[in-house]
Amino acid sequence: MISFSTQTQTNIDFAADLIRQAKQTVILSGAGISTPSNIPDFRSTESGLWSKDEPLEVASLSTFRTHPEKFFAWFRPLASQIFYAEPNPAHIALAQLEKKGFLKSIITQNVDMLHQKAGSKTVIEMHGTMQTLTCTQCYHQVNAQPYLAPFVETGEIPRCPKCKQILKPDVILFGEQLPQAAWMQAQKQARQADLMLVAGSSLEVLPVAGLPMQTLDRGGHLIMINNMPTYLDVRADIIFSEDLSIILPAITERVLHG
């Protein structure tokens, strides 16, 4: 049994009350929800991916088109971490809330599929997915699973089974537009929500960072669970700076069992 400070326990109780009272709760999740699953985030000072590499040099559409081997060399360690990662208690807690009818959808900035692995059904992937690969020449799309294992193990660059050109992971690189269907769906969910819970997102990447404002502007509530300040902290009903993998299960337990 985890013991919380009086203030944290009060916030957990308040968050649970907001979730129970809400007609439509939506989650916006970022890289911070997956760090307990040993997937690095992007902006942490020492461990973040961008503390080691310049994003436009390794993770842009331009780099992929002109020097795909450079992209894949950078991508391989991350792909390996994603390939072997398992959902942590935060992912599982959200899946439980959805199953019991307390959660409408998850809008995620992540491509690691851990929400789906945990059992969540309605997941809107704003930055693409690692589930599929698409040929850069003939646009044939394939399931990523048979190609990820040899890529992770040997560095073998995946190639199209039809035309043998390079397959691109269906993740959004710098210089690419967000998937329009996902963006439209995310905006609709944010506008209809009367409660948004932001879990592990720095809210620095537009346009996704503006989604909580669409909930707030329509009178909705906002819960923040994050390890760094954001521009919307001043508008939040509750702010948690504790470990997501501890706080979200505690809130869920309170919601489901009182």
162, 135 Cβ separation under 8 angstroms: yes
Angle at 48 between CA 108 and CA 8, to 5 degrees: 65
**ω before 40 within 30° of 0 (cis)?**
no
Widest CA span in the chain: 62
Q: Is 91 a catalytic residue?
A: no
CA angle 27, 104, 215 (to 5 degrees): 55
For the chain, what is the radius of gyration of the CA atoms? 19
Q: Which two tokens stand for residue 156?
A: 């073998």
Token reading at 39: 């997937």
What does the alpha-carbon distance between residue 28 and residue 41 come to, in Å, rounded to a whole number?
Answer: 15
Catalytically annotated residue among 127, 140, 221, 257:
127
Known catalytic residues are 127
